[in-house]
A and B are shown apart, each in its own frame.
Chain A
Amino acid sequence: MSSDEGLSRRGFLAISAAALGGVMLAPGIRLIEIAAARAPDQPASSKVRWGLLIDTNKCQTGCDDCVSACATENGIKSSGHPRTDSQWIRKIELKDMRNGRTHSVPVMCQHCAEPPCVLVCPTGASFKRADGIVLVDRHICIGCRYCMMACPYKARSFVAQELTDQNPDVPRGKGTVEGCTFCVQRVDRGQQPACVDACTKAGHNAMTFGDLNDPHSEIAQRVAQYATTAIRADLRTDPGVRYQGL
């Protein structure tokens, strides 16, 4: 089985995708970000900072399309113990008691530039990839759960039960901590995270994923144009996930 054949085919597809995706839909808005088309043998680049912008004005109360898409993509099933089940993304309902204004927002790993989970990890399992995605290397995670304590966003879960029938792209197992990966397996293929895809496909368009460092990307332009908020900005973790209209 020659890997060269597979590589050249994938490389060709990536280049085609870049060429097609490079077509401008509107000034500065491309169908697919060119930066996403990275060859499989290239490491993640620190020139890229993946980010997610959530428009809370478009996010509907009661809609959990993003949550169910995440569960399908990453193989998250209920073990029958809801209190300890893994939760990579959750919907939060907020209400301003003074004026009754409500928000419904998804919260997941905020992929901080200064991640507290990485600071406290005793083994180096919790780490930030060059392109800003915060991950757990479950080969070296000992399941101590310090990162879960340190995370101000309650973004991580501990796998307490034995798992079976995992998605081949998303290995998960008992005794380790896990959290949102921005669907790193999809991002490395040049796709968007499953939650963003589901939100767009359902026509809500409340989530925008892209490279915050690329001034031509839709997300960077929207962050530059509109007032956006980071949750718990006072902690100065500099999240990659930002909220508009909160």
Chain B
Amino acid sequence: MSLRGLLQFVACLALMLPALAFASERTPKPDIIIANPGHCVAPTEIMRRNHPEMLLHQRDLTVHEGIRTTKYNLERCVACHASKTTDSVLGPKGFCQSCHAYAGVTLDCFECHASKPKLATGASQ
């Protein structure tokens, strides 16, 4: 086989790999329990890719300027996405932690922010 042919074969194989991987049952997937599917502030594909930027932008507006709109509010994310069994977005099957663990991305938000909705923590208004 010529070098060019070999390269073409390798390229084809590389292109097919993701499709093969997703077709396979052996690929691990995050084990998430979604409490309220389909009610988010943007379509799922946009949320999956852009939720860090949304939260980052909102956090600066809120902390520095006192703008407290509710659309990209982390408190509301937690209120809606908290598991109905554990009342939290953390935990092995929790909405935030399960996917972050799968993707290997550190999840720092909840070292400071509450991972449970307001009523569940019993905090005062």
What is the size, in residues, of chain A's interface with B at 8 Å between Cβ atoms? 35
Chain B residues with a Cβ closer than 8 Å to the other chain, count: 28
B67 touches A171 (CB 8 A): no
- Among candidates B64, B70, B80, B123, residue contacting A129 with C-beta atoms closer than 8 Å: B64
- Given contacts A168-B75, A169-B75, whether A137 and B64 have CB atoms under 8 Å apart is yes
* CB–CB B66/A188 < 8 A: yes
B29 within 8 A of A: no
Specify the chain A residue showing the minimal Cβ separation from B75.
A168
When distances are taken between beta carbons in the complex, the residues of chain A under 8 Å from B114 are 165-168, 171
Report B26 CB to chain A, min CB distance, Å: 37
User: What chain A residues lie within 8 Å of B116 (beta carbons)?
Assistant: 165, 168
B117 contact set on A, CB distance < 8 A: 168
A12 to chain B, nearest CB (A): 15
What are 20 A-B contacts with C-beta separation under 8 Å?
Answer: A6-B70, A40-B67, A40-B69, A41-B69, A73-B124, A129-B64, A130-B65, A137-B63, A138-B112, A165-B121, A166-B112, A168-B114, A168-B117, A168-B118, A169-B75, A169-B118, A171-B112, A171-B113, A176-B112, A188-B66
Hey, which bits of chain A sit against chain B, CB under 8 A?
1, 3, 6-7, 38, 40-44, 72-73, 75, 127, 129-131, 135, 137-139, 162-163, 165-169, 171-174, 176, 184, 188
Asked if residues A131 and B70 are in contact (CB atoms below 8 Å), the reply is: no
What residues on A are CB-neighbors of B64 within 8 Å? Answer: 127, 129, 137
- With A3-B70, A168-B75, A172-B112 already in contact, the answer to whether A139 and B118 are too (CB < 8 A) is no
Q: Does B17 lie at the interface of the complex (its beta carbon under 8 Å from any beta carbon of A)? A: no
**Chain A contacts for B59, CB-based, 8 A:** 139
Contact B69 A1, beta carbon cutoff 8 Å = no
